[in-house]
Amino acid sequence: MSNLLDSINFKSIRGRIAEYLIQMTENGSDTLLITHDTLSVELGTAREVISRTLKLLEKEGLIITRGKITLVNRTGLEHYMEL
Q: What is the pLDDT of residues 65-80, one digit of tens each?
A: 988 999 999 999 999 9
Looking at residue 12, the DSSP 8-state letter turns out to be: -
Which domains are delineated in the chain? 2-82 (1.10.10.10)
Q: How far is CA 16 from the centre of its chain?
A: 6
Per-residue pLDDT reduced to its tens digit, 17-48: 999 999 999 988 999 999 999 999 999 999 99
- Residue 7 predicted with pLDDT over 60: no
pLDDT at 5: 53
Give the full edge-to-edge strand order of the sheet including 69-71: 31-32, 69-71, 63-65
pTM of the model: 0.84
Cα–Cα distance for residue pair 5/58, rounded to 1 Å: 26
* pLDDT (0 to 100) of residue 15: 94
